[in-house]
A = this chain, B = another copy of it.
């Protein structure tokens, strides 16, 4: 018997929380997570994949829950010396984190694909579910801002998301292909759900959707596609989502998220505080599930994962 697979699309912190919840309620072979790599960049000659690493650390239980990025029990000897060298320390690299970047950089240099490298890391970190990069080719999120064109990390980390964003570009995306496994899953009949995690739609999910064939693949898949709202009560749980929506002239509401994803969506998971929006969303033809979407504890994560999976079951054309 083939286990039916839930395919989750995720960025970093917020998405990783739901991915962790899904990993606790599904068997390892029932979950595949596709990670945004639009945030990847080269720094000091190292290939850094922030969203992938946040997912790997979270799934392995070695993430730093206080910062939301990086590893728990990290040390900072290298950074201390870099500071003395007055070098670029705006992107903080923990000593243990650097090991991931060294491993990835070396394997890529030796000809491995990003998929192969991430799968190697996943196995070595004893993570059950598959984690795939969206593409093995470089896609680089770049922001048009009031301070000029900015690569993602310059905007996100160095400038602390302060510049006003006018538009986003995903450099290289038209030449990028979905990773083979991602493409295969979108074409298969084994998917029980496509889950858009509550990550930033513009910065974390759109790079994935922008890869040629992804939107079409999602639309054609018999599996229901469900997004979990990253907006709760007119605000983002974390990060610059609300600020970015304002700057792009989009109302900061869960309804705007539905509008943003509408070509791909079958169902939408709305927070309890936004229950009043369910009627108008359902009127637009998108099913709604209302629940507490704020994930503070591991129990919150697993409970939300169960709600999403049950919601998907009800939306499935082959519901048993």
- Residues on A close to B: CB < 8 A? 43-47, 74-75, 77-82, 84-88, 93-96, 98-100, 102-103, 105-106, 109, 120-121, 124
Contacts and interface: CB of A to CB of B under 8 A. Distances in A.
Given A45-B47, A75-B95, A106 B88 contact: yes
A82 B102 contact: yes
Given A85-B121, A85-B124, A121-B85, A77 B102 contact: no
Contacts of A43: 106
A288 to B, nearest CB: 43
Given A45-B46, A47-B45, A81 B96 contact: yes
B87 A106 contact: yes
30 contacts: A43-B106, A44-B46, A44-B102, A45-B45, A45-B47, A45-B102, A45-B105, A45-B106, A45-B109, A46-B46, A46-B102, A74-B77, A75-B75, A75-B77, A75-B95, A77-B77, A77-B94, A77-B95, A77-B99, A78-B78, A78-B95, A84-B124, A85-B99, A85-B100, A85-B103, A87-B99, A87-B106, A88-B106, A95-B95, A98-B98
Q: How many copies does the complex hold?
A: 2
A81 B102 CA distance: 10
Contacts of A109: 45
Nearest to A43: B106
Nearest to A124: B85
B105 A44 contact: yes
A46 B43 CA distance: 11
Contacts of A47: 45
